């Protein structure tokens, strides 16, 4: 399967995902649920993690277009992403939540601060449960265990899981998500991964 063909499918997912996310965020402005735990208050704000947070997009693109050589794995993983997107959107509608970012103001002292401020301006602090960043990063790590390149490069899978852990940490220390959001995102990632491998993988031709 050509890189150009894979890019078209990935672009389609990206357009649908971002459209759904921002439309829901614009339409549902009342956030009825507060999932803030005492431990959330203990976690410090660390703006430098914004670079890890945004590495999310580059790693997904590189993984889908460059590392997933198998057509079966590509479409199974993409299908899992679509399923997760639908479930996330449903949660954002029925359980609208709001993260009180005002408790952790950001001062413009570094490039990391600037990028975090711009990120907050674009991404409203609602639609937090589950965390999309956690869901998709952990799903990608799970699916990469099945990639052929993982057998050739034994360090690759551990690197993906370390990256997923760092993405999870970034969502917490940047005050983008609650702990509940992060945990539920990981659980959702595993459920979608297992469902996709059991119900979709065998139906796709190589």
Q: What is the pLDDT along the chain (206 residues), one digit of tens a residue?
A: 789 999 999 999 999 999 999 899 888 877 777 888 999 999 999 999 999 999 999 999 999 999 998 899 999 999 999 999 999 999 999 888 888 888 899 988 899 999 999 999 988 888 888 999 999 999 999 999 999 898 889 999 999 999 999 999 999 999 999 999 999 999 999 999 999 999 888 787 77
pTM for this entry: 0.92
- Widest pairwise Cα distance in the chain: 53
Report the run of H or E that residue 81 belongs to, with start and end: helix 71-94
Q: Read off φ and ψ for residue 33, nearest 5 degrees.
A: -120, 135
DSSP one-letter code for 154:
T
> How far is 13 from 26, CA to CA, in rounded Å?
20
**What one-character-per-residue DSSP string does 91-142 give?**
HHHHS-BB--GGGS---S-SHHHHHHHHHHHHS-SB--SS-HHHHHHHHHHH
């Amino acid at each position: 399967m050509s890189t150009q063909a894979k890019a078209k499918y990935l672009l389609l997912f990206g357009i649908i995902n971002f459209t759904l996310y921002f439309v829901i965020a614009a339409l549902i402005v009342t956030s009825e649920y507060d999932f803030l735990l005492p431990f959330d208050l203990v976690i410090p704000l660390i703006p430098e993690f914004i670079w890890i947070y945004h590495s999310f997009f580059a790693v997904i693109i590189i993984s889908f277009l460059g590392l997933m050589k198998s057509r079966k794995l590509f479409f199974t993983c993409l299908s899992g992403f679509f399923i997760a997107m639908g479930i996330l959107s449903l949660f954002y509608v029925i359980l609208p939540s709001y993260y009180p970012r005002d408790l952790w103001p950001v001062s413009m002292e570094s490039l990391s601060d600037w990028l975090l401020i711009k990120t907050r301006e674009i991404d409203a602090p609602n639609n937090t449960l589950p965390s999309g960043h956690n869901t998709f990063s952990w799903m990608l790590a799970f699916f990469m265990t099945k990639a052929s390149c993982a057998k050739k490069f034994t360090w690759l899978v551990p690197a993906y899981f370390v990256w997923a852990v760092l993405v999870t940490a970034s969502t917490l220390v940047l005050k983008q998500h609650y702990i509940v959001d992060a945990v539920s995102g990981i659980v959702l990632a595993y459920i979608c991964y297992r469902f996709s491998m059991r119900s979709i993988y065998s139906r796709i031709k190589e």
